[in-house]
Chains A and B, each alone.
Chain A
Amino acid sequence: MCGIVGLFLKDKSLEPQLGAMLSEMMVMLTDRGPDSAGIAIYGSAAEGQGKITIQSPSPAQDFAGLDAELSRKLGAKVGMTVKSTHAVLDVPAGELQAAREAISELRPNVRIMGAGEAIEIYKEVGLPEKVAARFEVSKMSGTHGIGHTRMATESAVTTMGAHPFSTGPDQCLVHNGSLSNHNNLRRELRREGMTFETENDTEVAAAYLSHKIASGMDLGQALESSLNDLDGFFTFVVGTKNGFGVVRDPIACKPAVMAETDQYVAFGSEYRALANLPGIEQARVWEPEPSTVYFWEH
């Protein structure tokens, strides 16, 4: 099991509440995944600015003075907002790659959770409610976001094994299910130059999609092609800078419910996660079809 929630806002007036709505949805699915939780939230992208979310097992030590050191190294102003074990670095968009390299040089123990113009990723081991509180997710605003509660099957219960996985700029993936050909696929993707942080099956799926996108496919094509190349059970929800997509494997035994109103499109592993959304009684509620790619974009 695992629980997935996703929320894509059409109504701008709801944007300040995105974090609150998404964390409530996620906590509702605690019993589908009590061992870890994570959230990817897409805030407004400032022109020419990029963000890198980093994580450290010893944040006090690793984050101290990192912004100043990075600023010096890059010759550009770097801002830093620390949230518990994570921190978001604001760097000029053109310096994202240089900043990643500088971070691993300056702080070898720091892990990069995700980077891009709009994405922030927070994930930790522990009950979803505690994870959401630790990062104050309910105070975050944004245009869309994805949450995940994990019940580990394919790899250990660690921070890096939690979802979402991000393997490309502003991209992230959460997964309910288990892939059976991830070892082979990881080998093939490594040959193609992709790097991996964990032994986790979902990270392979994320890297697969990022690789396809980097080689010219759009997200829809990449998701279509995953239906041929990934073996196993999956319901995926994928986030990009402008929207999110949903795809289920042909067997579709991993549950999924969607709801759409004039204000939002919402995804939940179960209806419970959607039951408190505004106007849910009048929403169009349906189960996404197997082997069918759904996508919403701003």
Chain B
Amino acid sequence: MATSNLATAPVPEMQYDTKVFDLSKTTLRELNQALHDVADGSNETAWEVLNPKGSHAVAVGVNAPISVDVRGSVGYYCAGMNQQATITVHGSVGPGAAENMMSGAVVVKGDASQYAGATGRGGLLVIEGNASSRCGISMKGIDIVVRGNVGHMSAFMAQSGNLVVLGDAGDALGDSIYEARLFVRGTVKSLGADCIEKEMRPEHIEILKGLLERAGMTDAKPEEFKRYGSARTLYNFNIDNADAY
């Protein structure tokens, strides 16, 4: 029953404030440097970016298990090379969003411009609106789920990973594709060279079910999709084509 003349304000329950960066007041470089400086085991796990106004390279190169909420639309290369982080854009993204993502997740609440998820090696890219041309070009292991449509030349030279499109796909889907899986619920305007429709076997339904769950799009049924992939005729040099070289 000690007495004390110290103030006895109730001690607030321990919590860590969201780190807020207002890009109308702070430079992009400061934001990205601060994101890169997050140390292993840091308590600064919640970040928020205000007033991006179409800025390029917002939250690029993050390599920590943090969440970043971007309030507004961004320009080129948002969330590029992401590792571990969950980056949510509450707006639309310009070209090259989540380019070369390694792991983690990028969620776009609006639309994505061209080559979203290009060359991605891992992680999950969710686009809740439409993606334009070349979505998932040269993807190498990333999973991409698009609620709307994708534009022409999507999954061009896709090597591995999954592209799921709940809407329609544009011209030349999966041109020169290697081993990525493409699932499209709507129509495909045309298939690219060496891309064919393939049988939807039980294991594909399972994979697709998991992807839709991870993307929070469980209103779509895996059975409604068609699967497309490589006919594997461009894999090896064919002597009959020698004259073409």
- Give CA–CA (A286, B133) in the complex, Å: 13
The interface residues of chain A lying within 8 Å CB-to-CB of B151 are 252, 289-290
- Give CA–CA (A273, B75) in the complex, Å: 10
A275 touches B94 (CB 8 A): no
The interface residues of chain A lying within 8 Å CB-to-CB of B53 are 272, 275-276
- Give CA–CA (A290, B54) in the complex, Å: 22
B111 touches A271 (CB 8 A): no
**Interface status of A287 (Cβ within 8 A of chain B):** yes
B54 touches A287 (CB 8 A): no
**Interface status of A177 (Cβ within 8 A of chain B):** no
A252 touches B55 (CB 8 A): no
- Give CA–CA (A272, B114) in the complex, Å: 16
A271 touches B132 (CB 8 A): no
A255 touches B133 (CB 8 A): no
The interface residues of chain B lying within 8 Å CB-to-CB of A257 are 94, 113
Which of the four size classes fits the interface of chain B?
Answer: 10 to 19
The interface residues of chain A lying within 8 Å CB-to-CB of B122 are none
**Interface status of A285 (Cβ within 8 A of chain B):** yes
B145-157 near A? 1/0 per residue, CB < 8 Å:
0000001100000
The interface residues of chain B lying within 8 Å CB-to-CB of A285 are 73, 92, 111
**Interface status of B95 (Cβ within 8 A of chain A):** yes
Contacting A at CB under 8 A, from B101-159, are 111, 113-114, 132-133, 151-152
Our pick among B73, B114, B152 for the contact of A255 (Cβ within 8 Å) is B114
Our pick among B92, B114, B133, B152 for the contact of A271 (Cβ within 8 Å) is B92
A274 touches B54 (CB 8 A): yes
What DSSP secondary structure best describes chain A's contact surface? loop
- Give CA–CA (A272, B23) in the complex, Å: 13
**Interface status of A253 (Cβ within 8 A of chain B):** yes
A220-253 near B? 1/0 per residue, CB < 8 Å:
0000000000000000000000000000000011
A272 touches B152 (CB 8 A): no
The interface residues of chain B lying within 8 Å CB-to-CB of A201 are none
- Give CA–CA (A160, B46) in the complex, Å: 52
B75, B95, B151: residue with the most chain A Cβ atoms closer than 10 Å: B75
The interface residues of chain A lying within 8 Å CB-to-CB of B95 are 255
**Interface status of A35 (Cβ within 8 A of chain B):** no
- Give CA–CA (A252, B95) in the complex, Å: 12
The interface residues of chain A lying within 8 Å CB-to-CB of B92 are 271, 285
Our pick among A252, A253, A271, A290 for the contact of B94 (Cβ within 8 Å) is A271
**Interface status of A270 (Cβ within 8 A of chain B):** yes
A287 touches B113 (CB 8 A): yes
The interface residues of chain A lying within 8 Å CB-to-CB of B55 are 272
A278-298 near B? 1/0 per residue, CB < 8 Å:
000000011101100000000
B67-85 near A? 1/0 per residue, CB < 8 Å:
0000001111000000000
B113 touches A290 (CB 8 A): no
- Give CA–CA (A257, B92) in the complex, Å: 11
A272 touches B133 (CB 8 A): no
- Give CA–CA (A253, B53) in the complex, Å: 22
Q: A255-B95, A270-B75, A285-B92 are in contact. Are A275 and B54 (CB under 8 A)?
A: yes
- Give CA–CA (A104, B77) in the complex, Å: 49
B111 touches A255 (CB 8 A): no
- Give CA–CA (A271, B113) in the complex, Å: 10
The interface residues of chain B lying within 8 Å CB-to-CB of A255 are 94-95, 113-114
- A235: shortest Cβ distance to chain B, in Å? 12
- Give CA–CA (A285, B110) in the complex, Å: 10
Contacting A at CB under 8 A, from B144-194, are 151-152
The interface residues of chain B lying within 8 Å CB-to-CB of A270 are 54, 75-76, 94
Q: Across chains A and B, which 9 residue pairs bring their CB atoms closest together, nearest first?
A: A272-B54, A271-B54, A275-B53, A275-B54, A287-B132, A271-B73, A270-B75, A272-B75, A252-B133
| Residues of A bordering B, CB below 8 Å | 252-253, 255, 257, 270-276, 285-287, 289-290
Pick 14 A–B contacts, CB within 8 A, sort by A. Answer: A252-B133, A253-B133, A257-B113, A270-B75, A270-B94, A271-B54, A271-B75, A271-B94, A272-B53, A285-B111, A287-B111, A287-B113, A290-B133, A290-B151
